[in-house]
Structure 1
Amino acid sequence: MNDATRPGQSPRRLRLLTRVNAVLARYGAYFAVAGLVFIVVIVAWQVFGRYVMNDSPTWTENLALVLVLYVTLIGAAVGVRDAGHIGMESLLILVPERVRLKLEIVIHVLIGLFGAAMMWNGWILGYSVASYKLANINLPESVRYVPLVLSGALIVLFSIEHILALLDGEEVEPAWH
């Protein structure tokens, strides 16, 4: 037996993908948490400016809205990898094992296709509005679509990892272990 087929060891392609995806998921979660903290700081600054200084900064609302997109979409992608999303597992336990495996693969293929659609359509939408500027923060409108593309790409990668793990009889360990 070669290294890729020894019992108890996942094939090399899955180990490499798992290492890469675990790092991406971990840093994606760090980014999402940092983004949340930054949103809180921005909103606090806006409240302070409005009610204490009577001079609300104009850039805070748009920047906070852009950051919300990054936090939620990157966080959602991490949730796909670490199985933090809503699932129909209660229905899957009622079917035989061989049917369950096929259904789980179909589910991850559909999630991957959804991620690919997010990536593709986010790219098209971002490209179509790249020449416009966001009010008060002088960034291109396309920055609102970057997290859609990134999240879609991550979801595709994470879905491939789940499919390979299912085919190899493995489970994807969350990035936090």
Structure 2
Amino acid sequence: MNEDKQQTEAGRADGAPEPILFEDQEVSIADLRWIDAPGILVFWVLAIVVFLQFFTRYVLNDSLAWTEEAARYLLVLLCFLGSISVVRRGSHIMLEFVIRKMPPRISKAMAVTAEAITLGFFASMTWIGYELILKTKQKMVTVPIPKAWIYTVCVVALGLMTVYSAIWLWRKWHSTPAQIIANFDASLNTD
């Protein structure tokens, strides 16, 4: 108990923000990077648009037509921009249970294979999305914004996910089987 208190006090002395306890898990704001900012910004814009939609529909009894379409596309953008953060942290869902039950060498092979498949998926979706941008000439119905702009943000997000997935593949390829198992154990203890 005293060690935990000393570590918390030492963390504050370093200038790092104090960790937040959430369901017996420490969540630190220090883990945020600049790449997470667009997702956070879109989240708050979505919250404002949905509140505006609710307020105008149920309080003023005269809803704004553009809020529903804007909320739909903001939710799509939030999904893609939030996925960048998830891939950056390496915390996408994976069948760790199966990998952990295998011998270490097979576990490494499975982890590397899973990451290679993920990388291939992100790369192919980036390419398909790019082709979709070139073919899209439509605008949104209620707001005169080209849909290609929204698709461009999604494709850029997919490209960044591809880059981070390649980094994770490189890390897993150059890790020993024991390090991969230790990383699974560490992620199990923090989740």
The answer on whether the counterparts of 2:90 and 2:168 sit within 8 Å (CA) in structure 1 is no
Give 1:106's aligned residue.
113
Give 2:67's aligned residue.
60
Alignment counterpart, residue 164 of structure 1, candidates 156, 170, 190? 170
CA distance in 2, matches of 1:114, 1:144: 20
Select the structure that is richer in helix: 2
Determine whether 1:150 maps to 2:156.
yes
Runs of 4+ with >6 A deviation:
170-174
Structure 1 residue 133: Cα displacement: 1.0
Alignment counterpart, residue 40 of structure 2, candidates 17, 29, 33? 33
> Max radius of gyration: which structure?
2
Q: TM-score, normalised by structure 2?
A: 0.69
Determine whether 1:87 maps to 2:58.
no
Counting aligned pairs with the same residue, the percent is 23
Point out where structure 1 has 5 or more consecutive residues left out of the alignment.
1-24
Deviations 1:26-84 (A, max 9, x none): 23433222212211110111122223333322221111111111111121232122122
**Alignment coverage as a number of residue pairs:** 149
Cα 1:39–1:48, aligned 2, differ >3 Å: closer, same or farther? same
Which has the higher relative contact order, 1 or 2, with Cα contacts under 8 A spaced 6 or more apart? Answer: 1
CA distance in 2, matches of 1:38, 1:69: 13
The code of the aligned residue for 2:143 comes to I
Structure 1 residue 112: Cα displacement: 0.6
CA distance in 1, matches of 2:76, 2:153: 7
Q: TM-score, normalised by structure 1?
A: 0.74
The code of the aligned residue for 2:95 comes to M
CA distance in 2, matches of 1:139, 1:80: 29
Point out where structure 2 has 5 or more consecutive residues left out of the alignment.
1-31
CA distance in 2, matches of 1:52, 1:92: 53
Determine whether 1:132 maps to 2:138.
yes
